[in-house]
């Protein structure tokens, strides 16, 4: 029997996915065990793989194979594997075609140079070293956005790259609602007496921290026979295939929470990819629905489960048994309160659950002002300080801990990368409410260290589907509503109202 058009397309896409997988393997190695001497060659090798994958995806051959497959599956059910496949493949193809190889190369070379200079500028606390580079990044971001523009806000195509279907027009009211509730909430909570958290800063050997965190994420559902956990500088999850999804973490011997919550967070991303339907291997469907939905899974395990009283009533005795001296005299309740202290600070990655979204909103607003031409790069450090003072009441004493703290603007375009974090927080609460509606026993199970019902629910309702459903459709299907900040605000008000009453 001759090969069908769909099978030919599938064979072609397998090679693109495998090229990306090879690139991810090079990246994982670069961020974990590569000796410093490997750096220059690795940048070259990663660039080569990326170019090969982009050329193949945007080739005339992909166009032809797609057309033939689309004709062949025209009569299939709209949500069938085949129809979903060609729909998502077409979207990826068209995005890739719109970006000329010359601009893609110019942008990736510029970003590589920016990243290198940023690491030095940040260490030296010297914004002037990256100013003109950022000006070029802004120009190129506009250029790329305009290529994909469909008449909305200039940031829309950059946002769509990560959160398909989301626009500035949808995000603005959502973020305004959060801002109006969270600013006074942070102000109120940070004026209260802080629980004692000094014991979190005792000496905790890293190996023991990592082993404890690893045991917990294995209990959550992260499959170590199809993954592994390694230390790195900037934690991430990465996949080479559905059956090899790795997570990374970092920790400090003098601060216990970092390794715990980093590991819980990344395990959520890892479980998402491990939970994809096996037949999605090698297809464009083998990824999360969007950055926001992906982040909802990491926030679910990091915060809603990982920072809950129920979870620690199970896990604290175990933690105490591996750190008996450090935690001697510390009660379960004291520990729970200590890992939920609200202190607005200048650094996003150290933020508590309540103030975290304000850090995101600040970046989102600044990105829009930059793209709209209302703010110049030279004014960025001052604008940053003003927003931190205004929203968080936090003083930003230098640019190192201010405008230079995040890698995003030095590793990609300005625009599109930050909203996903807050969408993830909002969705984590919406999904958790939906899970508890379906299985009211979940909170009791968490107290007993039984995570299976929650894990299975996320796998069956979210992970399994990969990119079959657009994010808005998936959210509607799982929650019965669109994206809605109310459950998240309810969660924060309930938890911190009780903690600080």
Dihedral (Cα; 388, 390, 343, 253), 10-degree rounding? 0
> Interaction with Zn ion in 399-428: which residues (CB under 5 A)?
none
Asked if 296 interacts with Zn ion (CB under 5 A), we say no
Asked if 298 interacts with Zn ion (CB under 5 A), we say yes
Q: What is the DSSP string of 356-370?
A: HHHHHHHHHHHHHHH
Are β-strands 244-249 and 229-231 bridged in parallel, bridged antiparallel, or unpaired? parallel
Crossing angle of helices 291-299 and 419-438, rounded to 10°:
60
Q: Which stretch binds Zn ion (CB under 5 A): 32-40, 85-93, 293-301, 477-485?
A: 293-301
Q: How far is the CB of 435 from Zn ion (least distance, A)?
A: 19
Is there a contact between 47 and 108 (Cβ–Cβ < 8 Å)? yes
Strand partners, 276: none
Choice between 297 and 326, CB closer to Zn ion:
297
Strand partners, 238: 246
Choice between 6 and 272, CB closer to Zn ion:
272
Catalytic residue among 266, 302, 353, 367, which?
266
- CA-nearest of 39, 292, 56, 35 to 161 is 292
Q: Which stretch binds Zn ion (CB under 5 A): 47-55, 103-111, 125-133, 291-299?
A: 291-299
- Residue nearest Zn ion, Cβ-based: 298
Q: How far is the CB of 300 from Zn ion (least distance, A)?
A: 11
Q: Which stretch binds Zn ion (CB under 5 A): 98-106, 207-215, 296-304, 425-433?
A: 296-304
Q: How far is the CB of 235 from Zn ion (least distance, A)?
A: 8
Are β-strands 237-241 and 244-249 bridged in parallel, bridged antiparallel, or unpaired? antiparallel
- Lookup: tokens for 335: 């520990």
Is there a contact between 471 and 163 (Cβ–Cβ < 8 Å)? yes
Choice between 133 and 475, CB closer to Zn ion:
475
- Indicate the DSSP class of residue 320: H
Q: How far is the CB of 229 from Zn ion (least distance, A)?
A: 15
Choice between 83 and 351, CB closer to Zn ion:
351
Output b/e per residue, 11-25; b: 16+ Cβ within 10 A. Answer: ebbeebbebbbbbbb
* CA distances for 27 relative to 32, 207, 237, angstroms: 9, 24, 11
CB-hemisphere CA count at 13 Å for 476?
6
Is there a contact between 305 and 264 (Cβ–Cβ < 8 Å)? yes
Choice between 298 and 458, CB closer to Zn ion:
298
Q: How far is the CB of 219 from Zn ion (least distance, A)?
A: 20
Q: What is the distance between the terminal CA atoms of the chain, rounded to a whole angstrom?
A: 72
Choice between 248 and 355, CB closer to Zn ion:
248
- Lookup: tokens for 310: 């129920």
Catalytic residue status for 266: yes
CB-hemisphere CA count at 13 Å for 299?
26
Radius of gyration of the chain measured on its C-alpha atoms:
23
**Backbone phi, then psi, for 279, in 5-degree steps?**
-75, -5
3-state secondary structure 39-50: HHHHHHHHHHHH
Choice between 12 and 294, CB closer to Zn ion:
294
* CA distances for 289 relative to 38, 85, 295, 296, 470, angstroms: 34, 13, 10, 11, 6
Asked if 248 interacts with Zn ion (CB under 5 A), we say no
Q: How far is the CB of 189 from Zn ion (least distance, A)?
A: 24
Q: How far is the CB of 79 from Zn ion (least distance, A)?
A: 28
Q: Which stretch binds Zn ion (CB under 5 A): 11-19, 62-70, 207-215, 297-305?
A: 297-305
Query: How many amino acids of this chain bind Zn ion (CB under 5 A)?
Result: 1
For residue 237, give the 3-state DSSP assignment. strand
Task: Identify the helix (H) or strand (E) that includes residue 230.
Answer: strand 229-231
* CA distances for 501 relative to 303, 466, 498, angstroms: 20, 41, 5
Q: How far is the CB of 265 from Zn ion (least distance, A)?
A: 6
Choice between 31 and 104, CB closer to Zn ion:
31
Choice between 154 and 407, CB closer to Zn ion:
407
Q: How far is the CB of 269 from Zn ion (least distance, A)?
A: 6
Q: Catalytic site residues?
A: 266
Residues lying near Zn ion in the complex (CB under 5 A) are found at: 298
């Amino acid at each position: 029997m001759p090969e069908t058009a769909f099978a030919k397309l599938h064979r072609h896409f397998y090679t693109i996915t495998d090229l990306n997988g090879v690139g991810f393997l090079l990246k994982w190695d670069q961020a974990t065990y590569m000796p410093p001497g490997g750096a220059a060659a690795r940048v070259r090798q990663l660039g080569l793989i990326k170019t090969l994958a982009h050329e193949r995806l945007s080739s005339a051959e992909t166009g032809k194979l797609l057309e033939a497959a689309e004709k062949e599956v025209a009569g299939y059910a709209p949500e069938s594997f085949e129809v979903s496949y060609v729909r998502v493949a077409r979207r990826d193809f068209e995005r890739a075609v719109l970006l000329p190889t010359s601009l893609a190369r110019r942008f990736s070379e510029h970003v590589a140079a920016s990243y290198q200079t940023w690491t030095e500028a940040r260490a030296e606390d010297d914004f002037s070293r990256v100013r003109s580079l950022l000006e070029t990044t802004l120009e190129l971001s506009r250029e790329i956005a305009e290529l994909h523009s469909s008449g909305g806000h200039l940031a829309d195509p950059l946002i769509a790259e990560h959160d398909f279907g989301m626009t500035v027009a949808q995000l603005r009211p959502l973020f305004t609602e959060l801002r109006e509730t969270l600013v006074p909430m942070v102000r109120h909570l940070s004026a209260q007496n802080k629980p004692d958290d000094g014991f979190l800063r005792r000496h905790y050997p890293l190996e023991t921290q990592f082993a404890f965190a690893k045991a917990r994420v294995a209990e959550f559902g992260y499959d170590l026979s199809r993954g592994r956990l390694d230390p790195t500088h900037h934690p991430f999850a990465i996949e080479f295939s559905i059956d090899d999804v790795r997570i990374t973490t970092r920790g400090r011997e003098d601060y216990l929470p970092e390794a715990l919550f980093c590991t819980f967070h990344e395990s959520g991303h890892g479980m998402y990819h491990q939970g994809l339907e096996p037949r999605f291997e090698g297809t464009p469907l083998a990824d999360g629905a969007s950055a926001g939905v992906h982040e909802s899974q990491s926030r679910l395990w990091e915060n809603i489960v990982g920072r809950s009283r129920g979870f620690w009533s199970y896990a604290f005795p175990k933690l105490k048994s591996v750190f008996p001296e450090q935690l001697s005299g510390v009660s379960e309740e004291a520990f729970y309160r200590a890992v939920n202290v609200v202190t607005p600070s200048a650094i996003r990655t150290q933020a508590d659950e309540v103030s975290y979204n304000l850090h995101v909103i600040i970046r989102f607003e600044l990105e829009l002002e930059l793209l709209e031409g209302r703010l110049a790069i030279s004014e960025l450090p001052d604008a940053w300080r003003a927003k931190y003072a205004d929203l968080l009441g936090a003083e930003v004493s230098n640019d190192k801990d201010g405008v230079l703290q995040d890698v995003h603007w030095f590793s990609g375009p300005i625009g599109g990368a930050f909203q996903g974090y807050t969408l993830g927080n909002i969705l984590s609460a919406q999904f958790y409410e939906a899970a508890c509606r379906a299985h009211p026993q979940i909170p009791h199970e968490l107290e007993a260290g039984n995570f299976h019902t929650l894990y299975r629910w996320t796998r069956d309702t979210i992970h399994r589907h990969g990119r079959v459903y657009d994010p808005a459709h998936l959210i509607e299907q799982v929650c019965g509503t669109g994206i809605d900040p109310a459950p998240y605000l309810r969660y924060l008000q309930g938890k911190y109202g009780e903690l600080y009453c």
